[in-house]
Amino acid sequence: MSFKDKIKQSPRLKQLVLYMLMPRNQARPRTWVRWLVNPFLHKKGKGALIRRRTRMDVLPFNSFSLGRYSTIEDFATINNGMGAVTIGDNVRVGIGNVLIGPVTIGNNVIMAQHVVLSGLNHGYTDPDVPVSLQPCSIAAIQVDDDCWIGANSVITAGVHIGKHAVVAGGSVVTKDVPAYSVVAGNPARVIRQYQAATGKWEKP
C-alpha cells in the first residue's frame, strides 16, 4: 500500500495532512506549499504565463499543468483540490475565469472574461445538514481543441464540449456540446452547426 493510500484510509492522518497543506476552512495552499512543493510537481510549458494577480489554489495531491504558450489572465482562480486541472497549448484563460477541477482543456482554446468551469457540485439532499457540510460530487469537464467560450458563460460538471464549438456569451451549458456547433442560452442549446456538404454554419 502506498503512502498516499494510507493517508486516504486514515481520517486522522488525512486531516493532519490537509491542515499542513492549507489553513482550516480555506482552499488556498499554505505559502510553503506554493513556494517549495508545487513548482516541482506541477507542469508549466515553454512560454506559458500565469499573471501575478491569478489565484492559484493548487495543491500537490492532484495534478495541474499549463501547456506551451498558454496564458492565465489576472483575477482568474484555478482550483485542483477535487480534481486535476489540465490546460493545453496556446490557450487563453480570460480575466476573472474560474476553473475548478476535474477540468481538461485542449489546445488553441479561447476563454473570454468571467467564465466558470466547475467539475464540482455540493451535496444538498439532506435537509437537516448544512449544504457546506454535505459530501461533494465531481464529474469531469472536457473542452476539446479550438473552442471559443464566450464571456460570462457557465459550464457545469460532466459536460463535454466538442472540437471547434462556440459557446455564446452568458450561456449556461448543462449538456454536451457537439463538435462544430454554436450553443446559446440558459440552458444552452444548439443554434448553428457546421455542415460539411454546404460549407456553411446552418440552423439545426
Active site members: 122
Tell me the backbone φ, ψ of residue 71, rounded to 5 degrees. Answer: -130, 135
Placement of cell 460532466 in the chain = 158
CA separation for the pair 186, 184 (Å, rounded): 7
One-letter amino acid of 51: R
Grid cell locating 170: 452568458
Any residues with CB less than 8 A from the CB of 124 and at least 6 apart, and which?
131, 134
Distance CA 147, CA 92 (A): 11
Q: Cα–Cα distance between 70 and 50 in angstroms, integer? A: 8
| Contact (Cβ atoms closer than 8 angstroms) between residue 120 and residue 136 | yes
In contact, 165 and 144? CB cutoff 8 Å: yes
